[in-house]
Amino acid sequence: MQGTVYKSTGSWYSVKTEEGIFYKCRIKGKFRIQGIKSTNPIAVGDKVEFHLEEKGDETVGVISHIEERRNYIIRKSVNLSKQTHIIAANLDQVFLLVTLNNPTTYTSFIDRFLVTCEAYDISVVLLFNKMDVYNDKEKKEVDYMVNLYEKIGYHCIEIAAKEGLNVDKVKEYMIGKVSMFSGHSGVGKSTLVNALQPGLQLKTAEISEQHLQGQHTTTFAEMYDLSFEAKIIDTPGIKGFGIVDMEKDEIGDYFPEFFKLKSECKFNNCLHLDEPKCAIKNALEEDEIAWSRYRSYVQMVTGEEENYRMDIHKV
């Protein structure tokens, strides 16, 4: 039998067949794929083969094979374990939800996320959520970020999931595709799924409630079929986003605005750090490249930890 993984708890997988039937499945023993060292061998979005086994009065599926992935999105946990985790597989696009506060999304996080999407060739749209609560100054900050990222070539939409603002625009991007919502805990991923399809009623929670519980509201990635020919994967919030297995000299290629200029650097192996006649540093001085992007880049190349506060706006 064949199906698509709709939910993964780490020990159980919910697999949907083409006939639309869900089976509870598991894997036997160690299941390793093509040398990927990951905490989860099978992720939401994976296409799998399985067979049914009777266990007492219960029928469970046992996954025996996973189809080669068209793509997947992976991150390194930022805690000490440094394990990698596949968030989802076989995606058409990813939406990164960003909020200025409650919680704060720093550009260093956005940039790491974008670099991973570039490296894995997955298109990404930035959604600036909770526009309903920002004051004028904060709205300007969002506009500044939208300008910054649009100029590089990323689509950005300002939304308010709770009020339905611009949810239609998000819908347009989703039709006919498998998409994923990502971002910190509390940015409104599940709220947005509910806004797209009110009947689903996914659990959402205030950040203060989340802290009381000491955990994220959404605990496992799960895919949903929406009424308008779209599939969405809601994911648990992520704190940090460590990039996986990248050579120093390839990171710059995943900053599109750097990549465009790099042939103009004096040295063809320029890392854009202290080298003379560097086109990227020139563009930075001319304000054609944003300082926040350059700082993110330096952080990644020098292997600094992501989580420090920084001032992202020029004002």
Ligand X SMILES: Nc1nc2c(ncn2[C@@H]2O[C@H](COP(=O)(O)OP(=O)(O)OP(=O)(O)O)[C@@H](O)[C@H]2O)c(=O)[nH]1
Q: Applying CB under 5 A, which residues contact Mg ion?
A: 189-190, 217-218
Q: Does 186 bind ligand X (CB under 6 A)?
A: yes
Give Cβ neighbours of residue 167 (< 8 Å, ≥ 6 apart): 159, 161, 192, 195, 196
The interface partner of residue 161, options being Mg ion, ligand X, Zn ion, none and the CB cut-off 5 to 8 Å by kind, is ligand X
Tokens, residue 224: 């949903």
The interface partner of residue 272, options being Zn ion, ligand X, Mg ion, none and the CB cut-off 5 to 8 Å by kind, is Zn ion
Q: How far is the CB of 158 from ligand X (least distance, A)?
A: 10
CA 46 to chain centroid, in Å, comes to 17
The interface partner of residue 270, options being Zn ion, ligand X, Mg ion, none and the CB cut-off 5 to 8 Å by kind, is Zn ion
Question: Looking at beta carbons only, is 133 or 200 nearer to ligand X?
Answer: 133
- How many angstroms separate the Cα of 95 from the Cα of each of 61, 123, 126, 187? 32, 9, 6, 12
Residues 220-259 that bind ligand X (CB under 6 A): 236-237
Strand-pair partners of 126: 96, 156
Residues 53-112 that bind ligand X (CB under 6 A): none
Strand-pair partners of 24: 14
| Main-chain phi, psi angles of 218, to 5 degrees | -90, 125
CB atoms within 10 A of CB 38: 16
Residues making contact with Zn ion (CB under 5 A)? 265, 270, 272, 278, 280
| Main-chain phi, psi angles of 107, to 5 degrees | -65, -25
Q: How far is the CB of 217 from ligand X (least distance, A)?
A: 4
Q: Which of 116, 179, 190, 292 binds ligand X (CB under 6 A)?
A: 190
- What is the rounded CA–CA span in Å between residue 94 and residue 115? 13
Question: Looking at beta carbons only, is 22 or 267 nearer to Zn ion?
Answer: 267
Could you give the dihedral angle defined by the CA atoms of residues 83, 312, 128 and 231, in that order, rounded to the nearest 10 degrees? -20
Q: How far is the CB of 195 from ligand X (least distance, A)?
A: 8
For tokens 């750090």, the residue is 273
Q: Which of 62, 133, 298, 301 binds ligand X (CB under 6 A)?
A: 133
User: What are the residues binding ligand X (CB under 6 A)?
Assistant: 129-130, 132-133, 160-162, 185-191, 204-206, 210, 216-218, 236-237
